[in-house]
Chains A and B, each alone.
Chain A
């Protein structure tokens, strides 16, 4: 593919991710409502929310505030462009290395952190500080598990790892092949998505939704789009790395919806950790389990 075509395909992937995740989030609001014996909003409520926000006037708190939002959205779209959806459906062939996602996703996060701090609201700074602390906490066990997988397969390309699982032969789906690691990955995923009990950095009743406290109108709308695409990236990474990826788009959709709904349902029966509890939790059990799994898999060769 020529570079121009690749870029268009990449933007298509980002758009697909946005539409998919926004619909799934809307459906999940209905699922949660049923869980709480309510009827719940329309499934396209999330779209209405986003378009409403884009239609409102917004206050600005200086150019860092505005520029940070654009940087966050741009960074996340750029990350999503590299995401493979199925085995053959990826925009930039050969550029879906796991570490590209790790590095690029930070651009979006840092843009958001910069912009939130630029608003001058102390609650926003507290929220950003907490978000970065949470990131530091869940990244370590997640990295240990993913590095184990990279060591086992000898590949760091996301689609190659997915294919290694599909071929049967050597490896099962990694959530089965590395069962302890699978548990760690689910916990880390919950941290990444900011689901309870790890939603300390949003904490609406406590620090007025943290980094988002000064956003309203258009900027908030853009951050919502950014959030949806971020969730798309994180959940798809989980699907490709641990659930064997997808041969075709139907399988991808099924796996995607299942993972997101599962995590969301767990989230709604939990309370919220304090920030020090989040860090202590991640550095204690998941990290310990991840290291045990790595030693078992790499040195003892215990892979199911």
Chain B
């Protein structure tokens, strides 16, 4: 076996572990977040898939963006995303993250999440029901298996483009830290 083949084998073994143990950081911004409690408790029992909530971005594998994002929150979201350790995945919830949803003409809300950070899979609906959320996670696992969940790689490759979009909308992506000024 050549070195590339060995590397690929290792990566596949790693993918098996990564898709069976997805720890979520729930960035609960909008109303879609209400679908998460039934997904986690006895009705749908997300832990069966090896998923569980995590308290900090360093430990999490999946970033759940649940709903609309105001410009202020987006800044924090980008910070949070960049702190996560790779490989990392993003799931966008509801029409708000896809095209702005019912807030599409608001001056304070962004319309397409994909312009700012790479999204691996979307869960459609306003709000998506819990089955759709669970299906979204199964899709994510399938994408990891077929090596298509490569958002974190795309973020490296197209960093200039993402950075430009972030700056265009936000002016600056520095987080103003009121506590330490």
Contacts and interface: CB of A to CB of B under 8 A. Distances in A.
B85 A58 contact: yes
Q: Which of B50, B58, B83 has the most CB atoms of chain A within a 10 A radius of its CB?
A: B58
Interface in A27-78: 29, 33, 36-42, 45, 48-49, 51-52, 55-59
A59 B21 contact: no
Nearest to B47: A41
Interface string A213-236: 111110010000000000000000
B20 A48 contact: yes
Interface in B77-91: 83-87
Given A41-B50, A48-B20, A216-B85, A209 B45 contact: no
Contacts of A204: 53-55
A17 to B, nearest CB: 22
B48 interface: yes
B21 A45 contact: yes
Contact of B58 (A37, A40, A49, A59): A59
A3 interface: no
A215 B48 contact: no
A216 B47 contact: no
Contacts of A38: 41-42, 45, 47-48
Given A38-B45, A38-B47, A55 B17 contact: yes
**Size class of the contact patch on chain A:** 20 to 34
A33 B86 CA distance: 29
Main SS class of interface, A:
loop
Interface in B38-68: 41-42, 45, 47-50, 53-61
A212 interface: yes
B14 interface: yes
Nearest to A204: B55
A217 B152 CA distance: 15
Contact of B47 (A37, A40, A57): A40
A186 interface: no
A59 B85 contact: yes
B76 interface: no
B58 A215 contact: yes
Contact of A213 (B53, B56, B85): B56
Contact of A55 (B14, B53, B83): B14
A208 interface: yes
Contacts of B84: 216
29 contacts: A33-B47, A36-B41, A36-B42, A38-B42, A38-B45, A38-B48, A45-B20, A48-B21, A49-B21, A52-B14, A52-B18, A55-B13, A55-B14, A55-B17, A55-B18, A56-B18, A56-B86, A57-B87, A59-B58, A204-B53, A204-B55, A208-B55, A208-B56, A209-B56, A212-B56, A213-B56, A216-B56, A216-B60, A216-B84
Interface of A: 29, 33, 36-42, 45, 48-49, 51-52, 55-59, 204-205, 208-209, 212-217, 220
Interface of B: 13-14, 17-18, 20-21, 41-42, 45, 47-50, 53-61, 83-87
